[in-house]
Structure 1
Amino acid sequence: MDRRNFIASAALAALSLPLAGGRRALAATGERLLPVPLNPGDTVALVSPSSAVDDSFDLQIVREVMEALGLEVRAGAHYAARRGHLAGDDAGRAADLNAAFADAAVKAVICVRGGAGAARLLPLLDYAAIRANPKVLLGYSDVTALHSAIHARTGLVTFHGPNGSGSWNRFNADQFRRVFFERELMEYRNVADAGDELVQRRNRTVTITGGKARGALLGGNLAVLTALAGSPYLPEFEGGILFLEDVSEAPYRVDRMLTTLKLAGVLDRIAGFVFGECTDCDPGEGYGSLTLEQILDDHVRPLGIPAYRGAMIGHIRQQFIVPVGGRVELDADAGTLRLLEPVFQA
């Protein structure tokens, strides 16, 4: 069974589980939990919660990137391990995460890469230690499982953005400094650059339903998030702003996963919706498939909530670093997200 079919079947089977589990978990934690600030010169831990890297040279690059950002680096004991497609066994990968959060000298936890396997760690994480030692967690794609579970179980605000082995171009490095070092109340607005085109084509946002909405920003990778349906690791979405992205998914699978979120009651509880990039999700030759536009029209437009698509979030070279659990204002007409409150401890 391939990854997509496994995720789809697991998500649908999960609908038979008690959907209140995630809501009870978050309700028990009280208010949002903010991480401690991150400053140049601080120590960050490198962890590999998902797939192993293809080449050990990537691990050297991750270290050099963090050092170039002005940070000290401490690698997890198992971060270079490998077991099949995974970066070592579950116990070792979870131990690295737990150790990083428990270590008072570590101010941020940086995920080396995504891939698959982070959800296997969720029952093994020490949520009490994470709650007692709130700090930055950065990563995306499969790391969505960690963002969702940690927010659901502790209320901690984490950060959806480039993995350590991803591209650290000028845009991404600037996002890192503005979000973490300058602690700017960010407005996330797509880059306006037409290049050599008469009219800008890339990085355009499209309004699905106009208007503004405010709420906690929650979500991430669509396939990974949907696979948590019915578990105690899915956050409470009531009044939230849902953001989604994905890669290499056929449109019918995107339709099936949005249907799962609809059946699980997630879409009916949100106040706003943002779809980032679905890279390589075209219907292919001919018109034997719904398009992504039609799928969003079917699932999102009837909600009547402010919604837009095309945000610079996802499997793309330049991507926003957004706070999972942070309070934002969505402007669907302008195609922007704006932080309403600080996302770090004072």
Structure 2
Amino acid sequence: RNDLVGLVTPSSSIKPEKLQETVKKLEGLGYRVYYKQSVMDEYGYLAGKDIDRADEIMHMFSNKEVDAIFCVRGGYGAIRILELLDYEVIRHNPKLLLGYSDITALHAAIYKKTGLVSFHSPLGVSDFNSFALTSFNKVIVEPRNNYKYDYLREAKTEGNPEFDLYTIRSGKVEGELAGGNISVLDSMIGTDFEPDFKDKIVYLEEIEEKTYKVDKMLFHLLSATNLKQSAGIVLGVFKDCNVNDEPRISIKQALDDLLKPLGMPVLYGLSFGHIDHKITIPFGIHGRMNTNDNSLELLEKAVL
């Protein structure tokens, strides 16, 4: 502990009170916190202009004092700065990059351009409850060679199938972990930063998208990338995606229709996504999924 954490806002803006809550929370966990004033910039729905958000990230990677980079929040905008980052500087200054949702764009781009591992983890504004903190610590603070993730169903979700844990297609496979938010990954298709899913265990999550939109984005990923050649797919909680104005197909049925025919193991409902009790998943570390016990396991240390 006592590591220096740099805060960045590569996507949407943060209110000053939320920033201070984040600082207080991270200091309470034993970290020192550093940020540039630009972290509070606003430019419409973005946290400042693209060049300024990119500069903020490059400043943190270049700063020898900074041990880890925490994205304060998601939203939208990370994809707009990918071409403005200096990946050679990033490659030679490896840091822990932390966040999820829109931060998927940074995880995918940095891994593709540098091979560096980053972390689909709580954001700065996220709730570090005991479940989330335990996973974060076991993956990052006290990493192990083997770590099987715990599962905890969200409170007061009984009867809500979005929070069920179940197998779509059974199997047990190993592979490198890669993935993130479906809509962000979909937006990266055709760019220089499009992820390579071949032989990977791909983890996916989504929030507040109607079922037909999830269907459309996932179908596009399956059709336009090599997602069909992945080793297996692990789905988190697709929170508030079971909403339709049109004739109803449930999110469960849509996912079954698209993924069951692929011939690979597919698991739904692990503890990640836009939920309170979320695990921390490395992008680029070898893992194993097993539908016999609906589990995901890391097979090597994510931090050396």
Same fold (TM over 0.5): yes
Q: How many pairs were matched up?
A: 303
**Are the counterparts in 2 of residues 277 and 310 from structure 1 also a CA contact under 8 Å?**
yes
Structure 1 Cα separation of the partners of residues 226 and 150 of structure 2:
26
Q: Does 1:142 align with 2:102?
A: yes
Q: For 1:57-68, what aligned pairs fall within 5 Å after superposition? A: 57-68=17-28
Query: Which residue of the other structure, out of 227, 233, 236, is the alignment partner of 1:267?
Result: 227
Q: Does 1:168 align with 2:128?
A: yes
What TM-score results when the alignment is normalised by the length of structure 1? 0.83
Letter in 2 for 1:224: V
Query: Which residue of the other structure, out of 289, 293, 296, is the alignment partner of 2:255?
Result: 296
The structural deviation recorded for 1:196 is 11
Relative to 1, partners in 2 of residues 1:192 and 1:231: Cα closer, same or farther, differing over 3 Å?
closer
Query: Which residue of the other structure, out of 125, 141, 151, is the alignment partner of 1:190?
Result: 151
Q: For 1:60-79, what aligned pairs fall within 5 Å after superposition? A: 60-79=20-39
The structural deviation recorded for 1:202 is 8.5
**Are the counterparts in 1 of residues 41 and 47 from structure 2 also a CA contact under 8 Å?**
yes
Structure 1: gaps of 5 or more residues: 1-39
The structural deviation recorded for 1:289 is 3.0
Partner residue of 1:154? 114
Letter in 1 for 2:291: A
Query: Which residue of the other structure, out of 256, 261, 264, is the alignment partner of 1:305?
Result: 264
Q: Which moved more, 1:43-52 or 1:259-268?
A: 259-268
Structure 2 Cα separation of the partners of residues 200 and 269 of structure 1:
31
Q: Secondary structure of 2:10's partner?
A: coil
What TM-score results when the alignment is normalised by the length of structure 2? 0.94
Relative to 1, partners in 2 of residues 1:109 and 1:252: Cα closer, same or farther, differing over 3 Å?
same
The structural deviation recorded for 1:102 is 1.0
**Are the counterparts in 1 of residues 13 and 48 from structure 2 also a CA contact under 8 Å?**
yes
**Are the counterparts in 2 of residues 50 and 113 from structure 1 also a CA contact under 8 Å?**
yes
Q: Does 1:320 align with 2:279?
A: yes
Letter in 2 for 1:62: T
Q: Does 1:241 align with 2:201?
A: yes
Q: Does 1:227 align with 2:194?
A: no
Structure 1 Cα separation of the partners of residues 154 and 109 of structure 2:
37
Relative to 1, partners in 2 of residues 1:294 and 1:193: Cα closer, same or farther, differing over 3 Å?
closer
Structure 2 Cα separation of the partners of residues 136 and 194 of structure 1:
30
Q: Secondary structure of 2:2's partner?
A: coil
Structure 2 Cα separation of the partners of residues 196 and 156 of structure 1:
36
**Are the counterparts in 2 of residues 194 and 201 from structure 1 also a CA contact under 8 Å?**
no
Query: Which residue of the other structure, out of 296, 300, 303, is the alignment partner of 1:341?
Result: 300
Q: Secondary structure of 1:313's partner?
A: strand
Structure 2: gaps of 5 or more residues: none
Residues 271-319 of structure 1: CA distance to partner in whole angstroms, max 9, x if unpaired?
Answer: 000111111111346x703221221122111111111100111000110
Q: Secondary structure of 1:323's partner?
A: strand
Letter in 2 for 1:63: V
The structural deviation recorded for 1:233 is 0.5
The structural deviation recorded for 1:161 is 1.4
Q: Percent identity?
A: 39
CA-based RMSD of the aligned residues comes to 2.0
Q: Secondary structure of 1:297's partner?
A: helix
Partner residue of 1:81? 41
The structural deviation recorded for 1:171 is 1.7
Letter in 2 for 1:68: G
Partner residue of 2:4? 43
Structure 1 Cα separation of the partners of residues 302 and 69 of structure 2:
16
Letter in 1 for 2:21: I
Structure 1 Cα separation of the partners of residues 128 and 154 of structure 2:
19
Structure 2 Cα separation of the partners of residues 227 and 95 of structure 1:
23
Q: Does 1:96 align with 2:59?
A: no
Structure 2 Cα separation of the partners of residues 183 and 240 of structure 1:
21
Structure 1 Cα separation of the partners of residues 50 and 160 of structure 2:
45
Relative to 1, partners in 2 of residues 1:49 and 1:193: Cα closer, same or farther, differing over 3 Å?
closer
Q: Does 1:282 align with 2:242?
A: yes
Partner residue of 2:218? 258
Relative to 1, partners in 2 of residues 1:81 and 1:177: Cα closer, same or farther, differing over 3 Å?
same
